[in-house]
Each structure stands twice: as structure tokens, then as C-alpha cells.
Amino acid sequence: MNHPVIRFLLLSLGLLSSANGQFNPIGGEDSAKVKASIVSEVKFAVPGQSFRVAVKLVHEAHWHTYGKELPPEVIGKPTKLKWTLPDGWTVEGLPWPATKEVDSTDGKKSQGYEGTVYLPARITAAGKAGDTQQISVKVDALACNPENCMPVKPEAMLSILLSDKVELDPASVAVFGTMPLVEPAAVKGMAVKSVERSFLGYLFFAFIGGLILNVMPCVFPVLGIKIMSVVEQAGEDKKQVLLHGLAYTLGILLCFWGLGGLVIALGKTWGFQLQSPGFVYGLCIFFLIFGLNMAGLFEIGASAVGVGADLQAKHGLSGSFFSGLLATVVATPCSAPFLGSALGYTVTLPALQAMLMFTMIGIGLASPFLVLSLVPSLVSALPRPGAWMESFKQAMAFLLFGTVAFLAWVLTGMIEGQPLLFLFFSLVITALGCWIYGRWSLPHKSARTRLIAVLLTLACLVGGMTFGWPTVEKSSASEAGHLESGLTWESWSPEKAEKLRAEGKAVYIDYTAKWCFTCQVNKRVYKDAALQKLIADKQIVLLKADWTNEDPRITKALSDLGKAAVPVNVLYLPGKADPIILPELLSVNNVSDAFHQVTH
């Protein structure tokens, strides 16, 4: 009976209540050693909105309970909370206060709670204004003092009035005001608990994510142009090569710092500028002109476009710098593997740490070209310049034309009707202006002919952009389902998602955007016949949250998930408050594994 292991098991089961080894049935001991009540930060709750509550535990003098998890060296029983909520309500646990050293049995020290402690949680209400609902909690804990231990199971109940407007409870300000603000990312995630990453770990992920951006289709055209410039520099002045590498890196970093500063100052999310039709249209025009230049339709100097054939001249450094800026601008539609989690973590950090994260992403993006510049032997190993470079240059133009096609498709998700037709015609007018410039603004032409060519070119560019500048016509989003990749998707809204979950249905949400290339790559998995059958068998409801245009509701939903960029794909299991968050890059296997967890 005095064996410590046997003693602990009996205490945990509630069969041993004192040091003299007397047995008592479970629940037979008075639970007054620990009293429980529920404190809410609001007087009135709003349906569909979350608010914090805390289970207040008051311990009798010299008694203590244990935390949610126990260190390996602590013998005790974790404290558990069992919530009972109205239909449609959900609860998610928030991090509990840190335990402290307490006096335990047999003269030993332990880690636990004593006195008064608040155990917080976040609750999302459902129903309609005017309803009064009750929530209750049962505490399952082991209470100990220096002499003995006993199981305690105090219960508490709280009535909540639903209203159209939230109202904070002044009496609870002191309680919740001392609690640290906790991002939902700290408590949501995969069903399997993940190991918390350190800041240094996220810095590493930021670097790797920036490095991977180089092979993403949004960035690769610019990288290809820089590779061509390195080839041209092979065997030349190594100092100049290094200066070009540093200028390219500086361009990337300055652009990342600028975008990062906007994200922090405006409270925006990564890639927010791609939600502006005007910005996307400007990129479309730029890449079209740049691509026609590389295809040989016309030739303009490096000082005009920022990148050109002769990067060894003084103006070439500005070309490398501008290429760095451009690489960052076109990288924003991409949330590569590793980068998504790093960006989600970044927007929750203090300003200085957040800027350091953006710096690491920029260094990762710049690293391939920077390495070529720092190690002259690698530059010398590249092929020598020759006639093949003109073919390579023209071939790279088709990557830029592909980027134009992608950006034009993005615009179809932002504007519609006649404005979209005018926009496409403006691209044709822009191409016409480039052709006029390349056909008649040539050195052997007369000054009058060249002047007329330049004026006509400018007229085409300005007139075309004026004619086709995107105008958004607001249209009501259809709630009806639409067929895509052989599956029926319904339009997402927070109300619809909550309603479906309250009905006990499995809900899969695809947070996506047309300008997100990774999102489009992910859609390939939905064409798998076995996956489609699994979705039908499990009766999973598919919702699409389209973030192509700015939508504060989606921005908030992503923030609640601890994310700052798309793609984000989550699965809500029936009866579970926490979603399963899938990896940024989907596969048939990882999606199927998540769907197999659905049980009815």
C-alpha cells in the first residue's frame, strides 16, 4: 500500500484519500477543497462571434491542483475541463497560466496551481439575438496538500444573453486585461499536436521559403533574365560581377522592407497589392512590353527597362537593382512551402522581429544570384557568351508571355463584362505601340520618322491604358454551388460555415485566390477519381473562400487560423472545434488522409 507507484494510481483513481490508506468511492470526498466558477469578458455575446471565458479555480489554503500537462518529473494528474455547450456553440482551449512550485505530499515539491487561478478558453456563440443560453464546465482534477490527495470534480454554470451588439463586462476587465493576447494560431492546428517552433526555426523557414520562390513560375522569368546576364559576365571583371550581385540583393531587400513595412503599418496581409485590379493590370502591361522587347520586336536600352544585355556598364548596376525589385514584386502571389507558416508567424511579431523575418525571406530569394557573384569560379564555369544567347533571350520571352496570360486570367476574377473586354483590347493596343516603335524608331530612319514613331507609341500606350484601365462593377456573389474539377463547391461565408458545422456536417474550406499560383497547382488533386468518391462517401461539404479581391471576412478567418497568405485548406470534423490544417502544397495522399478522419 505504501509503494509510491501503487499510491499514485490509487490517488489518481480517487480510491485513496489520505495518508493512512483509507479507501473511499469516487466522488465520496467533498470537493470544497477547490471551487469553480465561470467568468466571461462580455455581458452580451453576438451570434457567430467569439469571446473569452475563464474557469476560476479557488483553492483552499495549502491545497493545489496540477496544470494541463505535467513535466516528466512531476507525479500527479493533469487537470481537465469538460464543457457542455448549446447546439452550434464551439469552444477552443487557450494556453493556461504557468504553474509554480508548490508543497506536495511526503515533503516533496511539485508544480501546480494554488490560491486563485483563471484557466482561459475561447467560445463562439450561435443562435439568434434575444436568446439566453447556458454553458457549463466540469473540472476533473487531483487536489493535494502536504499530507494527502483527493480527486475533485467541481462544476460551474454561466448564462449568456445573445444580442446584436457585444458589450464587455467591466467587472471582468481586470481578469482578462492581465492575460496575454493569444493568437488563435497558438491553439488551432492539426489534430496531432505539433512542436512549437522557435524564432530561429522560423527564420530558417523564411530563408528556405525565399529560396524556393526562385523556382516558382511567378519568379522564374526574372531569374532566367538574371542568369542570362551572369552568362554575359562570365570570364569578365569579377569585381563587377560581385557588385551586380550586391545590387540585385539590395533591390530585393529594399522591396521586401517596403512591403513588410506596409503589411505591418496597415495591418494588411502578404500579397495584398495583388488584390488591386490596377496593380495587376500594371504588371500585365509591364510584362507584355518587356516580353516583346526580349522577343526582338524592338530594342531599348537597359537604363529604360532596368535589365538588358549590357550589364557591365555603369548603368547595369541600376539594372541589377531594378531586377531585384521586380523579382520581389512578382514573388508576392506565391506562398511556397515553408513560406506560408513563416509569413503567418511574421504578422504576429513585434515590428523589429517581423522585419527581420522579411529580411530572411529576401536573402533566401536573392541567394542563388548572390552565390554566383560571391564565388567567381561558379561564374567562370558557366557557358561562354555566343550566338546561342539571342535564342535563349527570345525563348525567355515566352515565360513572360505566360506571366501575362496568368495575370490576365487573374483579372477575370476581379472584373467582368464589358470592362474586361476593353482591358484585353488595351493589351492589343499596347502591343501595336511596341510594334510601331520597333518598326520605325530605328537609327537609320530620319529624325522626323523616329519622332512620329515615338509619339504614336506613347499615344498607343497612354490611350490603351486609359481605354482598358480596370473598373470593378460590384455584383452579388452567388450562394449556389458551382462545378469545378468534377466537384460541387459552394461559396464560403462565415455564417454558412458555422451553420453547416452546427448541423454536424464535415466542412472543407479552400481559402484561395486567382493570383496565387500555388493555389492553382493544388487544384489538380481534386480531379482524382478516388478522392472524389471519398468526398461523396463521407458527405463532405466543400466551400470555396475566394480572396482574389479584398474581403475582410476572409482576412479575419485567415488571421484566426494564424495565416497571412493563401493557399490555406482546412477540414472541420463534426463535433470538433479545432480544424485540421493541411500543408500549403496539397497531394492526393495528404488530402485523403485528412478526409479519412471524418466519421458519421
Go through the domains of the chain in sequence order and give each one's CATH number.
Answer: 31-182 (2.60.40.680), 199-383 (no CATH), 482-595 (3.40.30.10)
Nearest to 598, CA basis, from 508, 479, 481, 487: 508
**Cβ-based neighbour number of residue 359 at 10 Å:** 19
The interaxial angle of helices 220-233 and 351-374, nearest 10 deg, is 40
What is the phi/psi pair of residue 392, to 5°? -60, -45
Asked if residues 208 and 357 have their Cβ atoms less than 8 Å apart, the reply is no
List average pLDDT for each run of 10 residues in the chain, which is 600 residues long: 44 39 37 86 85 91 87 78 88 86 79 90 86 90 85 90 80 69 38 45 77 65 61 62 81 81 63 72 82 77 36 52 68 51 56 81 84 73 66 76 83 78 90 90 84 91 87 52 80 91 93 84 90 93 89 84 84 88 89 88
Residue with cell 480596370: 470
Nearest to 524, CA basis, from 598, 591, 594, 582: 591
The upper half-sphere exposure of residue 224, i.e. CA atoms within 13 Å in the direction of its Cβ, equals 19
Instruction: Please give the DSSP secondary-structure letter assigned to residue 230.
Output: H
Q: How far is CA 519 from CA 94, 525, 589, in A?
A: 31, 11, 17
Measured between alpha carbons, how far is 282 from 288 in angstroms, rounded to an integer? 10
Question: Would you say the pTM of this structure is higher than 0.75?
Answer: no
Cis peptide before 470 (omega within 30 of 0): no
Nearby residues of 301 by Cβ (< 8 Å), 6 or more positions away: 308, 315
227's grid cell: 542568369
pLDDT, position 400: 76
pLDDT, position 272: 59
> H-helix or E-strand containing 144?
strand 132-144
Residue with cell 477547490: 34
Nearest to 269, CA basis, from 259, 280, 257, 258: 259
pLDDT, position 444: 80
Asked if residues 78 and 152 have their Cβ atoms less than 8 Å apart, the reply is no
Nearest to 207, CA basis, from 378, 330, 336: 336
Instruction: Please give the DSSP secondary-structure letter assigned to residue 16.
Output: B
Measured between alpha carbons, how far is 495 from 49 in angstroms, rounded to an integer? 10
Asked if residues 555 and 504 have their Cβ atoms less than 8 Å apart, the reply is no
Tell me if residue 442 falls in helix, strand or coil.
Answer: coil
Nearby residues of 85 by Cβ (< 8 Å), 6 or more positions away: 91, 123, 135
pLDDT, position 572: 94
Measured between alpha carbons, how far is 104 from 113 in angstroms, rounded to an integer? 11
Burial class (CB in 10 A: 0-12, 13-18, 19+), 174: exposed
Measured between alpha carbons, how far is 459 from 437 in angstroms, rounded to an integer? 11
Nearby residues of 58 by Cβ (< 8 Å), 6 or more positions away: 34, 35, 36, 37, 115, 116
